[in-house]
Amino acid sequence: MDKATFGLDPYHILLTGCGLAIIAGYWLPRYFRGREPAASGLLILGGLAVFGLLPGVPDALNPIDNPRVWELASEFAVIIALFGTGIRIDKIRGHNLWNTTIRMLTIAMPLCILSVVVLGLGIGLSIAGSVLLAAVLAPTDPVLAADVQVGPPLEGGEHPVRFALTTEAGLNDGLAFPFVYLAIFIVAATGGVGEWIGEWLGFYVVYKIAVGVIAGCAAGWVLGRVLFTLPGDNPLANAGTGVIALAGVLVTYGLTELIEGYGFIAAFFMGLVLRRKEAEHEYHGRLHSFSSALEHSVTAVLLVLLGGAIPALLGYLDWQHALLGVALIFIIRPISGMLALWGDPMSLRQRGVVAFYGVRGIGSIYYLAYAGGQLNLVDEGALWATVTFTILLSTIVHGFSAGSVVWAATHEGERPSEPT
């Protein structure tokens, strides 16, 4: 045999380091907090600590050179997360139940996009780069927002604050896609705006969103029949496996994309509609547990690897790009959210929580990797550095504070002490 005994295979080093970083990310916070920790920020830092100093590893993980790998991995994580987000929601009808969500999507999200575009232009990004950065950072993350979302099926915990943050995260991942295509149009266009704006509005905004909603609702209804009704004397739901539902999500996403709809929107609405079928059946709880474990596993690996790629991206990050990320987290999102929620019946504290806790994460990775695979971006290095820094900042700031702050907002006026 030519292979050396005890040789240091880079692949096995990668597996070992990734596993150690994930264990540390979930284990170490237990020394400081009794509740389930928000480990996302620690996973990124763990990846940086484990892989950052190993020669060649950061360059091998660099998303600028390998956008397709990052696109596919993050796409899978977001698909499962969006379906799981839909499954979590027990109630979808009620007086003004969706009012806060609609305000955040139609007012706060466009304000965030516009503000980031202006700041991007101000720090020297191209118009296409600025629009793309704004679109990439627009969606809040359904994967990393567990501390602010509603509880699992049939367990309640659907306070208006949690409902708003959950449904916003479920919908804005798909709704950010038109702005990604807007950036692509700006780069690819050879004529004036008038030559392509109609196509963008008609096809990439109206048609693709509508198809995503319709396909998701139809798929949720069909899967509900398959799981709970057919065959009547021995439905699949009684077997309790979540693999069938996962297969249904993949079919739905794939078919929706094939007919040119937004698969992310379809995945969320599929989960939302499926949850209405036999709403009190215990299968929904088992399905949520299955999808949650899957999405968190994939996400943990992605975050560790993102941390490992940071040294390769640091050279593209200057103080101006870092300041843009800080401004988004601490100024742009909170102010846009508060303006959107002006007059909302929630208390000032609750409105502040909804406005502030817009976690950035895996969705941003997907959108930028997708655009990087479609275009030769002049600002690609700066974009990846800015997005990675913003994700790290968001996971640390939001992740470590969300549990106690959201608990206080959703138990406003109550005297019981916060669970440890």
pLDDT, tens digit, for every residue of 234-290? 788 887 678 888 899 999 999 999 999 999 999 999 999 999 988 888 888 888 888
In SS3 terms, 319-378 reads as HHHHHHHHHHHHHHHHHHHHHHCCCCCCCHHHHHHHHHCCCCCHHHHHHHHHHHHHCCCC
What pLDDT does residue 38 have?
Answer: 60
Q: How many helices (H) and strands (E) does the chain have?
A: 19, 0
- For residue 142, the SS3 value is coil
What pLDDT does residue 420 have?
Answer: 45
Cα separation of 194 and 238, whole Å?
56
Q: Could you give the percent of the chain with pLDDT greater than 90?
A: 54
Of residues 165, 141, 22, the one with CA closest to residue 81:
141
pLDDT in tens, 64-118: 998 999 999 999 999 999 999 999 888 888 778 899 999 999 999 999 999 999 9
- Beta strands, E only, 184-228: none
Q: How far is CA 21 from CA 12, 29, 34, 397, in A?
A: 14, 13, 20, 20
Q: Greater confidence, 187 or 413? A: 187
What is the secondary structure of 5-32 as a DSSP string?
TT---HHHHHHHHHHHHHHHHHHGGGGT
Q: Could you give the percent of the chain with pLDDT greater than 70?
A: 92
- For residue 131, the SS3 value is helix
3-state helix, strand, coil in the chain (%, to 5): 70, 0, 30
Cα separation of 64 and 61, whole Å?
9
Cα separation of 131 and 183, whole Å?
6
Of these ranges, 22-31, 150-159, 169-178, 214-223, the one predicted with the greatest mean pLDDT is 214-223
Largest CA-CA distance found in the chain, in angstroms, rounded = 74
Mean pLDDT computed over every residue of the chain: 87
Q: What are the residues whose beta carbons fall under 8 Å from the beta carbon of 58, sequence distance 6 or more? A: 51, 52, 308, 309, 310, 311, 312
Backbone phi, then psi, for 32, in 5-degree steps? -120, -25
Residue 186 predicted with pLDDT over 70:
yes
What pLDDT does residue 268 have?
Answer: 95
What pLDDT does residue 230 have?
Answer: 80
What pLDDT does residue 394 have?
Answer: 93
pLDDT in tens, 17-71: 899 999 988 888 777 655 555 678 889 999 999 888 788 888 889 999 989 999 9
Residue 343 predicted with pLDDT over 50:
yes
Cα separation of 27 and 11, whole Å?
24
Structure tokens at 127: 């118009």
pLDDT in tens, 352-380: 999 999 889 899 999 999 998 887 777 89
- Domains of the chain, earliest start first: 16-410 (1.20.1530.20)
Cα separation of 350 and 18, whole Å?
37
Predicted model pTM: 0.91
- Cis amide linkage into residue 67, ω under 30° from 0: no
